[in-house]
């Protein structure tokens, strides 16, 4: 986030920079605390916000600083590489429009140590 | 917030500590960036989350570390002392269940410099 942005302005700006697409009314659907632990000590922490959006304008870039970009079918996310906790975010957000809250604890190399989600995993 | 908490766990714990009441399913309704500026320079910043909740258990404390506590009628908030931008949060949340996003910029003594809200003020 840039310093004076709201989280909605931030996701809109960053999505545009990284994909070329302009989101129309992204909706906050997840608010998470991410903890990095090594040997039982917290070495880093941040917040992560997940937005849902169905409408946009613009054309998808083929490449950005984030890498190669492509559309994938909704049900293909479980085969994509991502931090292990992120699959649970997709599981929830594609099934429910209820906000999900939670904490993910990882090692520094993103091995998942624990997940605490509300609503909990089915 | 304590380090491993989600924002929902944090509001539930802090509300209990400061009022004696246990919130039942508080819902996030506002996500804000707060900026403190002096002479055009950002000297502090934080995020502020506003929750809405109708159900609770427990008895209201008369006093807590936050001061004297009392119930007030819903329409009395405009007469209560608070940071100037907070009145706009009440205005929105008591009228709409749609999440509101925004940025408040204050001086160090909480004179309001600017407000940027989405949805905007009526």
Domain ranges of chain B: 7-118
pLDDT value at residue A66: 85
The answer to whether B104 contacts chain A (CB < 8 Å) is no
**Which chain B residues are Cβ-neighbours of A27 within 8 angstroms?**
99
Q: What pLDDT is stored for residue B66 in this prediction? A: 85
Q: What ipTM does the predicted assembly reach?
A: 0.91
Q: Is B47 on the interface with A (CB under 8 A)?
A: yes
Residues of chain B where predicted confidence (pLDDT) is lower than 70:
122
CATH number of A7-118: 3.90.79.10
Q: Are the C-beta atoms of residues B42 and B114 closer than 8 Å to each other?
A: no
Task: Tell me what pLDDT residue B121 has.
Answer: 80
Residue A4 clears pLDDT 80, i.e. is over it: yes
Residue A4 sits at the chain B interface (C-beta within 8 Å): yes
Which residues have a Cβ under 8 Å from the Cβ of A61 and sit 6 or more positions away?
A: A18, A19, A20, A69
Calculate how close chain A gets to B61, using CA atoms only, in Å: 28
- For B110, the token pair is 């909480």
B4: left (phi over 0), alpha (psi -120 to 50) or beta: alpha
**What mean pLDDT, rounded, does chain A reach?**
95
pLDDT of residue B77: 94
Is 90 exceeded by the pLDDT of residue A91? yes
């Amino acid at each position: 986030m840039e310093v004076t942005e709201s989280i909605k302005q931030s996701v809109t700006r960053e999505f545009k920079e990284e994909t070329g697409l302009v989101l129309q009314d992204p909706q906050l659907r997840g608010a998470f605390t991410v903890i990095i632990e090594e040997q039982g000590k917290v070495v880093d922490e941040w917040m992560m916000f997940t937005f849902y959006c169905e409408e946009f304008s613009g054309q998808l870039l083929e490449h950005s600083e984030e890498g190669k970009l492509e559309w994938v079918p909704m049900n293909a996310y479980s085969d994509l590489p991502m931090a292990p906790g992120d699959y649970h975010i997709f599981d929830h957000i594609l099934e429910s429009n209820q906000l999900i809250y939670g904490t993910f604890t990882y090692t520094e190399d993103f091995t998942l140590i624990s997940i605490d989600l509300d609503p909990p995993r089915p």
